[in-house]
Structure 1
Amino acid sequence: MHFNELSMEMFLSRFQLLQPGTGEMSRNARQAAVLVPVVRRRQPGLLLTRRSPRLRKHAGQVAFPGGAADSTDPSLVATALREACEEVSIPPDVVDIIGVLPAVDSVTGFSVTPVVGVIPPGIHYHANQDEVADVFEMPLAEALHLARYHPLDVYRQNNAHRVWLSWYQHYFVWGMTAGIIRQVALQIGMDT
């Protein structure tokens, strides 16, 4: 599929993931989850945030809404929904969860589960200013265009770790966020 031919119907039909269960959270590893919000439009969008420059970790970086699991969260899906509500005011009951991607290890020691959900257009986002500087939407077809991502191999403790880099308008999209977007593109079979 070419990147400029992606409609909402095509995206949903190609996204062949199982519905997530309420999976138990590991007590041995720090768990986190992010919501990968796809905005339901004829030409869908991908909702992203830019983290506050005042944050201690990942300040100013483009990210999906999400964060660490609380002991009161019944699942990692619930974590992603709670965090999206806290960070950008996406009501959990309007999110149609369509699947989860495999967990990704973060450099800060979390196992991060990407939860893919479809949200309606017209939500009035209210960024939590303590955590989020900007909320923006990127056309999903453009976001999933694999050729826009460039690899960079970083070495930590003598181990190679590949990170992906990209730009959208004046936003630098890289690291885990770019990797998750690439994983969605690979999942649905986007062309380069």
Structure 2
Amino acid sequence: MTHFITQNRATEAESVVPFDLAQFVTRFQLQAPEATPSSRFLRQAAVLVPIIRRREPTLLLTRRAANLRTHAGQVAFPGGAADPEDRSLIATALREAYEEVAIPSSRVQVLGTLPSQDSVSGFQVTPVIGLLPPDLTLKAQADEVAAVFEMPLREAFALHRYHSLEFERENRQHRVYLRSYQHQWVWGLTATIIRQLALQVADS
């Protein structure tokens, strides 16, 4: 079953000086990170990190359905495990984004990828950065997605708003980042990817 989602859109007047999306794209492409070797011990997965081309650009985020077996109710990017039919991990991210929130792959301008991150659920996750037009009508797959919302890119990149926690799992120390935004908690792998992207395009 699918249903339409009314997005929580950032207001156009949130900032006097708009976020410079052209500069962001240039920095991302000029400071491209090195690819991470694929792990033989972890399943491959990918997420789409969708940036909407508004006057004040935003990140598109989802809140996972409460009935999912893993990461239920958490804020996430659209994505999932690679299928054998996927030509690449970019194809995985685009396929999953279409399945979860009906983003057509033809409307995504893929900028590239970030180094993969290992998840606590046993996946090696590759973030795929893509630009979206502001006129998309999203339709969430209710079995997987409970809500869709946007966070201004400027706000997402405010690194001082992220807090870190350390915990031990299977005799290894792990650090997790978290922050709140409009009654939503953004944490774990999603927060790590956002911080990774912010640092990637930061002034050198």
- Choose the corresponding residue for 2:124, options 85, 102, 111: 111
The residue correspondences of 1:22-33 to structure 2 (distance < 5 A) are 29-33=42-46
CA RMSD in angstroms, aligned pairs only: 2.3
- Choose the corresponding residue for 2:193, options 173, 180, 189: 180
The residue correspondences of 1:27-176 to structure 2 (distance < 5 A) are 29-176=42-189
Q: Secondary structure at the match of 2:140?
A: coil
Change (3 A) 1:63 1:151: same
| Aligned mates of 1:98, 1:118 — CA distance in 2 | 7
Q: Percent identity?
A: 59
Q: Secondary structure at the match of 1:15?
A: helix
Change (3 A) 1:20 1:87: farther
| Aligned mates of 2:34, 2:175 — CA distance in 1 | 27
Instruction: Give the stretch that moved more between structures: 122-131 or 24-33.
Output: 24-33
| Aligned mates of 2:189, 2:19 — CA distance in 1 | 23
After superposition, give the CA deviation of every residue in 1:84-113 in whole Å (9 maximum; x if it has no partner). 000000000110110100010000100000
Task: Report the TM-score when normalising by structure 2.
Answer: 0.85
Change (3 A) 1:25 1:189: closer
- Unpaired runs of 5+ residues, structure 1, are none
Aligned twin of 2:27: 14
Change (3 A) 1:25 1:105: closer
Aligned length: 187
